[in-house]
Amino acid sequence: MSKIQMTTPLVEMDGDEMTRILWKMIKDDLILPFVDLKSEYYDLGLVHRDETGDQVTFDSANAALKYGVAVKCATITPNAARVKEYNLKEMYKSPNGTIRAIMDGTVFRAPIIVKGVEPYVKTWKKPITIARHAYGDVYKASEMKIPGPGKVELVYTAEDGTETRELVHNYKSAGIAQGMHNLVPSIESFARSCFNYALDTKQDLWFATKDTISKKYDHTFKDIFQEMFDKEYKEKFAAAGIEYFYTLIDDAVARVIKSEGGYIWACKNYDGDVMSDMVATAFGSLAMMTSVLVTPDGKYEYEAAHGTVQRHYYKHLKGEETSTNSVATIFAWSGAFRKRGELDNLPELVNYADCLEQATIETIESGYMTKDLALVSTLPDIHPLSSEDFIKAIAKRLAAKLA
Ligand code: NAP
Ligand code: MG
């Protein structure tokens, strides 16, 4: 069989621990036998990040901007324990944070749905994709403890020195205060990424804030989305047969629970933080959650939403058998191949991505799965597999599909 050809390289960002082990297995068994892989390889494993003083992370993000499609393995975000464990020169920042800052994108997270792993919410039939605005609000707030009676004000000093004041509160007792901010260009980038991703995936877009209470702050989010939609996206959405729908956050929560799924839910930073964990858990498994960073001008970085699965890695190091779920990492690769195929007009590569996903889902739906899924699956006949045997089972199906 001749291998499927590529024209533009994928930016490949390798990572850490158990997911690094899975990365190699996926390449060896599911990719290299079928695709003449062109990739520009960046090793974001912590050892190499340390050797390069984290330069490799910056280089990989710039390569993602240059080529337009990247696929990333989970990576360790160092804390004090990791600095000791790896004898690091510095406590480097989260690679995902660094990449997001360089690419200025929005993260879309969506669950992979399979028969036998039922959502806790009975009505959910299709994935719900959460888009989280990843800048500002409470995550970049300044706070104060107010010791006793006195006045707290917001003061804006313009460049010419003129001041505008707004009373926060006239305290009669001790209390607390907080100042948050956001930026119009950041909200615009967020809105644009959401509209484009909705068009790209042909799904409705929902957005919600608390604009009735927060008449300037949240209302600005609502207005920016609405103006951009009316000016640039209304006709495109109509042509694609999809809708943009705005409502209040509390109404959105009620509607989401009663819905069938199948749409993108755009959330402000805090709402996205809270709701993405709720949605991921309610869909049944963190290991079945994909994540893609999309820039306002359509560059993509695909990854799994979970971490490096440290506990399984330590078992692996001791020579014990592991049963780590590789589905989200496989879907990161298939998402990247599909996008590369669409951009470069390579139908065979798109077909390969579709077959890879189908082979993965069919393997699970025929009862062959890793232990995390075996524990929750409602299928009658279940065969738990090791990390390696699960990937080999998918490879067999994939080969049959592509033959
Ligand atoms: P984690 O890697 O997501 O794993 C937490 C637990 O969830 C695992 O111990 C395992 O439970 C279960 N799990 C997660 N993914 C699984 C999979 N694919 N298959 C089977 N079970 C899975 O989170 P963590 O252990 O808290 O973090 C480890 C490292 O990952 C940290 O250094 C963190 O910085 C990093 N991290 C990276 C990213 C990223 O690169 N995007 C995201 C999050 C965390 P059991 O142990 O019960 O089997
Ligand atoms: Mg969270």
Is 158 domain-assigned? yes
370 and 403 part of one domain:
yes
Domain residues for 216?
119-141+180-283
Closest-lying ligand to the alpha carbon of 79?
1
- Within 8 A by CB and 6+ apart from 202, the residues are 240, 241, 242
Q: Does 312 map to a domain?
A: yes
Does the beta carbon of 98 lie inside 6 Å of ligand 1?
no
The number of the ligand 1 atom at minimal distance from the alpha carbon of 75 is: 40
Q: Whose CA is nearest to atom 33 of ligand 1?
A: 76
Same domain, 248 and 135: yes
Domain total in the chain: 3
The ligand with the least distance to the CA atom of 81 is: 1
Q: Give domain status of residue 200, yes or no.
A: yes
One domain, residues 37 and 94? yes
C-alpha separations of 180 from 85, 135, 144, 145, 295 in Å? 36, 11, 12, 15, 24
pLDDT of residue 296: 87
Q: Does residue 93 share a domain with residue 5?
A: yes
Structure confidence at residue 323 (pLDDT): 97
Other beta carbons less than 10 A from residue 64's beta carbon? 27
Name, in order, each residue with C-beta under 8 angstroms of 213's C-beta and a sequence gap of 6 or more.
Answer: none
- Position 367 scores a pLDDT of 97
Average pLDDT, 10 consecutive residues per value, the chain (403 residues): 94 98 98 98 97 97 97 96 95 90 88 91 94 88 95 97 97 97 95 95 97 96 98 98 97 95 95 88 86 91 95 97 97 98 97 98 97 94 97 98 94
Co-location of 42 and 91 in the same domain: yes
| Contacts of range 209-218, beta carbons closer than 8 Å, 24 or more positions apart | 209/248, 209/249, 209/268, 210/248, 210/249, 210/250, 211/248, 212/248, 217/180, 217/182, 218/268
Q: Is 386 in the pocket of ligand 1 (CB under 6 A)?
A: no
Q: Does 155 lie in the same domain as 126?
A: no
Kind of pairing between the strands at 289-294 and 106-111: antiparallel
Does 290 reside within a domain? no
Which residues face 246 on adjacent strands? Answer: 207
- DSSP code per residue over 226-245: HHHIIIIIHHHHHHHT--EE
Q: Where are the alpha helices (DSSP H) in 134-287?
A: 184-201, 217-228, 234-240, 249-258, 269-282
Within-domain flag for 288: no
Cα–Cα distance between 324 and 313 in angstroms, integer?
A: 9
Task: Kindly state whether residue 291 falls inside one of the protein's structural domains.
Answer: no
Ligand 2 center from residue 155 Cα (angstroms): 31
| 44 and 133 share one domain | no
Q: What is the DSSP letter of 44?
A: -
For residue 107, give the ligand nearest its CA: 1
Distance CA 338, CA 109 (A): 17
User: Same structural domain for residues 131 and 214?
Assistant: yes
- Tell me the best of 16, 308, 375 to mutate to test the pocket of ligand 1, counting ligand atoms within 8 Å of each CB and taking the most: 308
The CA 116 to ligand 2 mean position distance, Å, reads 26
Distance separating alpha carbons of residues 273 and 309, to the nearest angstrom: 21
Give the Cα separation of 321 and 317 in Å (integer).
10
Q: Please report whether residue 264 resides in a domain.
A: yes
Q: Best of 309, 321, 369 to mutate for ligand 1, by most ligand atoms within 8 A of CB? A: 309
Q: What's the pTM?
A: 0.90
Is any ligand 1 atom within 6 A of the Cβ of residue 75? Answer: yes
Instruction: Say yes or no: 126 and 229 in one domain.
Output: yes
Q: Nearest ligand to the C-alpha of residue 279?
A: 2
| Claim to verify: residue 160 and residue 198 sit in the same structural domain | no
C-alpha to C-alpha distance for 108 and 290, rounded to whole angstroms? 8
* DSSP H/E element including 39: strand 39-43
Residue nearest to atom 41 of ligand 1 (CA): 74
- The pair phi, psi for residue 47, each rounded to 5°, is -60, -45
Claim to verify: residue 333 and residue 372 sit in the same structural domain? yes
Q: By alpha-carbon position, which residue is closest to atom 45 of ligand 1?
A: 311
Distance of CA 139 from the midpoint of ligand 2 (Å): 12
Assess if residue 219 is contained within a domain: yes
CATH number at residue 212: 3.40.718.10
Work out which ligand 1 atom sits closest to the CA atom of 324: 19
259 and 134 co-located in one domain: yes
Closest ligand 1 atom to 291 CA:
41
Q: Whose CA is nearest to atom 10 of ligand 1?
A: 309
